[in-house]
Chain A
Amino acid sequence: MNKLYTRLGIAGSVGLSLAGLWLLISLFGPVLAPHGPGEIVDYEVFLPMSAEHPLGTDYLGRSVISRIMDGARFTVGIAFAAALLAALMGTGLGLFSAVSGKAVDESISRLMDALLSIPNKIFALVMIAAFGSSVPLLLLITGITYTPGVYRIARALAVNINQMDYIQVARARGEGRAYLALSEVLPNMIHPMLTDFGLRFVYVVLLLSSLSFLGLGVQPPNADLGSLVRENMSGLWEGAPAIMAPAAAIASLTIGVNLFIDSLRGRD
């Protein structure tokens, strides 16, 4: 473990710890939380930090720390699933484009360019307005939104790898396209695509949080980190931890993942 930390450097280790912490919270938060997320624990709202309520209480007198521990799983879970969706679709299409003929490559690329040109927040707003907000829809929207970005990187990588001599050797052996794509090209893309996955994850967290902040994301009674910021807006004037804490949570999650990924990237 020590060795891992020295390899990552200080920033990377901090990042890894933060990311790991949030992973644990999102997995076990609901079990470990001192109170239920909906439970009213005090008649005082927007209480400051205290031993009894480590992060104070929210606008209804609920335990903020419990609500964060409960809400993290939505943010992390949806973002993870959406980033994974984008990564799978983008990488798959990119790989397919790179090993296919010019016509297929061109048409997929233009389609992706078209998708990329739609501003992602507006796309999300339109979709939510049309279909109403739900977790599967959020997942789909964010997944689709980030597919073209992944596609571009994956295609560029695959096109590069496709010109390597070892691919030429395989082609001269008479191998089919599927073998080339899956056995020769893909294994060499995994590493950079994982890095990209981490970055997409951060983007999705931010997009989700901003949707929730607008009230279009995860719907009550459930609340993700973005919704927590929104519902406690009125506490801003009192400087209540109820609004600071979820905001800080979003920040530490995204910064943590980012630091970790950056330190990996420097090492390749």
Chain B
Amino acid sequence: MSDLVQVDKLRVVARAEEGAEITIVKDVSFSIPRGEVLALIGESGSGKTTIALALMGYARRGCHIEGGLIRVGDTDVTALKRKELRSLRGRRVSYVAQSAASGFDPAMKIMDQILETTRIHKTLPRQEAEAKAVDLFRALALPEPESIGSRYPHQVSGGQLQRLMAAMALITDPELVIFDEPTTALDVTTQIDVLRAFKHVVAERGITAVYVSHDLAVVAQMADQVVVLNQGEVRESGRTGQIIKAPTDDYTRQLLAAARPALRSATVELEADVPVLAVEGVSAGYGKIGRDGRPAIPILEDISLAIPRGTTLGVIGESGSGKSTLARAIAGLIPPTAGTLKLAGETLPNDMSQRTRDQFRRVQIVFQNADTALNPSHSVERILARPLAFYHGLQEQGRKQRVRELLDLVRLPATIAEQPCSRLSGGQKQRINLARALAAEPDLILCDEVTSALDTVVATAILDLLTELRRELKVSYMFISHDISTVRAVCDDVLVLYAGRKVEQGGREHFAAPPFHPYTDLLINSVPELEQGWLESAAQSRKLAPVNARGEGLCPFLERCPVRIEGKCSTEPPPWRQLALGNAVLCHHTEADLHGTASLNTARANASY
């Protein structure tokens, strides 16, 4: 028997509020040969995690496995008793969760947590287990494999923690490993290292795995087989190559299309007047403002940008680079400590309480997480009516009328108005968020990762909506995202932020091909492509020697820059360099050099395989 896992006609049902049952997994069947990786792909709510959990004989609260067969090795998982299940979990089947941070106890050393399963199942004496863990750390390309186990979870980075979680799952030599969206919470630049490490151990140890993800490009790198799920049903399954090159199902095609965002053209007539927003040399941060005028936790430094009327500026950078902080500073939620903000030429007071209501109205902010951005105890109507009353003084009747119009504008039915917003889906919530911003009739909308929490298909619809609104209403956007392909698809100009500093800015067309700033280059080359074997050919991040930086205002990317110029980058602040095509970069390299370094990156990687 070569199939390690066999799932046949699996049905999982959930009990709804009023005792009715809904089937969340409908007759799903697949099998995994020993040593292969099978990917479960689908949007949220498609049942992928439910299936993955069922492989461990586990059903979430309120759900149960109603029928079907799940076999792992020779064991029928559905027939196991509670106690037998416990010895199955962790030992023969193990699980790597989406958020490693919540899987680790912050107060315990990492090694102790990793060895917990071997201790519980008494599979290995401590010393041997430790040696094995160190081997795994090495295989997963973790730094300092000998000593990383004695650190605490907060002393390692998110990507490292995710790999440590994998080590925890692999320590018992399980027959089957389940990876549940293990890289979704990571930055692209980190994701690529983690994927590479996973792929390496999987291949080296001949592990059989289930890889749950919503990202086709990631799946293309990791899986041999793909099962496409939608609303609990299998839409299509087959070898990875076939699924991404020759899909037979419409839904799969839709997913594929959403994974390659189409460029949305900017047909708005640009008026060459003063920009809607001009940011000049702004610095900002959190905490008490010290005597030198700098905040206790400085984040942004010397940011300048301009957004002409009717255009969209994309802001991109990894998590923690200060993207949201920039949006907050512009919206007035944190006062800039230096520099000025100008709204259509008129200087905005830095102190929030000095801004006029009209100045507030003209800049609206839409937050990343639609769930927390809508007050759960307000109805949709109330949420949308407030800005109408607040800014425009509309009376009851006018408000009702306008709320309908707004809902129509964001393509939602008018009947939704009476509902409390807790009943809406993620995509609907994000539309309400947008409608609330539109209610103010603003000149500029700050969109902070508005599509990041959404499924690709829903996100595509929101992006389309943004583009349409821009045409209809001539609003400008500042579009913040960590995903360069989305930014390239919807923005006219792109600004790259690294550690609170602007490192590159230019028209979107310049982000299609080098020359780039070395950080932009890393960012672009870390986005997985929808083709098998991309991971192997992508540039390998090199281990860099530590630098001893001397001087002020040095390049923020210095520590991680693969092409830094020894002696120069660590002593002199880099200049702003205007490239021939129109984008500007903050780097010591000349344009010709940057051309060279980018291609060098790829060449080096190709040579190493």
B387 at the interface (CB under 8 A from A): yes
Q: Once the chains bind, are B332 and A164 in contact (CB under 8 Å)?
A: no
Min CB distance, A266 to chain B, in Å? 13
Q: Once the chains bind, are A188 and B331 in contact (CB under 8 Å)?
A: no
Q: Which of B80-88, B179-187, B360-368, B567-575 lies at the interface with chain A?
A: B360-368
B291 at the interface (CB under 8 A from A): no
Q: Once the chains bind, are B374 and A166 in contact (CB under 8 Å)?
A: yes
**Known interface pairs A165-B367, A187-B378. Does A172 touch B373 (Cβ–Cβ under 8 Å)?**
no
A123 to B290, CA, bound (A): 44
Question: What residues of A have a CB within 8 angstroms of the CB of B375 in the complex?
Answer: 166, 184, 187-188
Question: What residues of B have a CB within 8 angstroms of the CB of A166 in the complex?
Answer: 372-375
Min CB distance, B447 to chain A, in Å? 13
Q: Once the chains bind, are A174 and B365 in contact (CB under 8 Å)?
A: no
A164 to B377, CA, bound (A): 13
A187 to B420, CA, bound (A): 13
Set B333, B355, B360, B440: member contacting A168, Cβ < 8 A? B333
Set A172, A187, A190: member contacting B331, Cβ < 8 A? A172
A265 at the interface (CB under 8 A from B): no
Q: Once the chains bind, are A173 and B377 in contact (CB under 8 Å)?
A: no
In the complex, the chain B residue whose C-beta lies closest to that of A166 is B375
Question: What residues of B have a CB within 8 angstroms of the CB of A165 in the complex?
Answer: 367-369, 372-373
Min CB distance, A110 to chain B, in Å? 20
Contact with B along A147-179 (1 / 0, CB 8 A): 000000000000000001110110111110000
In the complex, the chain B residue whose C-beta lies closest to that of A185 is B375
A73 to B328, CA, bound (A): 55
Q: Once the chains bind, are B360 and A174 in contact (CB under 8 Å)?
A: yes
B543 at the interface (CB under 8 A from A): no
**Known interface pairs A164-B372, A166-B372. Does A172 touch B378 (Cβ–Cβ under 8 Å)?**
no
A267 to B360, CA, bound (A): 40
A165 to B453, CA, bound (A): 15
Question: What residues of B have a CB within 8 angstroms of the CB of A164 in the complex?
Answer: 372
Question: What residues of A have a CB within 8 angstroms of the CB of B390 in the complex?
Answer: 173-175
B582 at the interface (CB under 8 A from A): no
Q: Once the chains bind, are A172 and B364 in contact (CB under 8 Å)?
A: yes
In the complex, the chain B residue whose C-beta lies closest to that of A169 is B373
In the complex, the chain B residue whose C-beta lies closest to that of A172 is B331
Question: What residues of B have a CB within 8 angstroms of the CB of A175 in the complex?
Answer: 390
Min CB distance, A160 to chain B, in Å? 12
A172 to B328, CA, bound (A): 9
Q: Once the chains bind, are B367 and A173 in contact (CB under 8 Å)?
A: no
Min CB distance, A100 to chain B, in Å? 14
A188 to B422, CA, bound (A): 12
Min CB distance, A23 to chain B, in Å? 27
Contact with A along B536-554 (1 / 0, CB 8 A): 0000000000000000000
Q: Once the chains bind, are A173 and B376 in contact (CB under 8 Å)?
A: no
**Known interface pairs A165-B367, A168-B333, A187-B378. Does A173 touch B360 (Cβ–Cβ under 8 Å)?**
yes
**Known interface pairs A173-B360, A173-B390. Does A168 touch B378 (Cβ–Cβ under 8 Å)?**
no
**Known interface pairs A165-B367, A173-B440. Does A188 touch B376 (Cβ–Cβ under 8 Å)?**
yes
Task: List residues 521-577 of chain B with CB under 8 A from any CB of chain A.
Answer: none
Min CB distance, A188 to chain B, in Å? 5
In the complex, the chain A residue whose C-beta lies closest to that of B377 is A187
Task: List residues 382-408 of chain B with CB under 8 A from any CB of chain A.
Answer: 386-387, 390-391
Q: Once the chains bind, are A172 and B376 in contact (CB under 8 Å)?
A: no
A187 to B377, CA, bound (A): 6
Min CB distance, B132 to chain A, in Å? 42
Question: What residues of A have a CB within 8 angstroms of the CB of B391 in the complex?
Answer: 173
Set A168, A169, A174, A188: member contacting B377, Cβ < 8 A? A188
Q: Of residues B361, B374, B386, which shows the largest number of chain A Cβ atoms within 10 Å of its Cβ?
A: B386
Question: What residues of A have a CB within 8 angstroms of the CB of B357 in the complex?
Answer: 174
A187 to B376, CA, bound (A): 9
A182 to B204, CA, bound (A): 60
Question: What residues of B have a CB within 8 angstroms of the CB of A174 in the complex?
Answer: 355, 357, 360-361, 390
Q: Of residues A165, A184, A188, which shows the largest number of chain B Cβ atoms within 10 Å of its Cβ?
A: A165
**Known interface pairs A164-B372, A165-B367, A165-B372. Does A172 touch B332 (Cβ–Cβ under 8 Å)?**
yes
A42 to B453, CA, bound (A): 76
Contact with A along B342-356 (1 / 0, CB 8 A): 000000000010010
Task: List residues 179-235 of chain A with CB under 8 A from any CB of chain B.
Answer: 184, 187-188, 190
B436 at the interface (CB under 8 A from A): yes
Min CB distance, B330 to chain A, in Å? 10
Question: What residues of A have a CB within 8 angstroms of the CB of B364 in the complex?
Answer: 172-173
A143 to B369, CA, bound (A): 41
In the complex, the chain A residue whose C-beta lies closest to that of B387 is A173
A86 to B257, CA, bound (A): 59
In the complex, the chain A residue whose C-beta lies closest to that of B365 is A172
Question: What residues of A have a CB within 8 angstroms of the CB of B333 in the complex?
Answer: 168, 171-172
**Known interface pairs A164-B372, A184-B375, A187-B377. Does A169 touch B367 (Cβ–Cβ under 8 Å)?**
yes
Question: What residues of A have a CB within 8 angstroms of the CB of B440 in the complex?
Answer: 173
Min CB distance, B441 to chain A, in Å? 13
Q: Once the chains bind, are B360 and A172 in contact (CB under 8 Å)?
A: yes
A172 to B359, CA, bound (A): 10
Min CB distance, B373 to chain A, in Å? 4
What are 13 A-to-B residue pairs whose CB atoms are below 8 Å?
A165-B372, A165-B373, A166-B372, A166-B373, A168-B333, A169-B436, A172-B331, A172-B332, A172-B363, A173-B386, A173-B391, A175-B390, A188-B375
Chain B positions within 8 Å of A, measured between CB atoms, are 328, 331-333, 352, 355, 357, 360-361, 363-365, 367-369, 372-378, 386-387, 390-391, 436, 440
List the 9 shortest-distance A-B pairs measured between CB atoms, nearest first: A174-B360, A187-B377, A165-B373, A172-B331, A165-B372, A166-B375, A165-B367, A172-B365, A164-B372
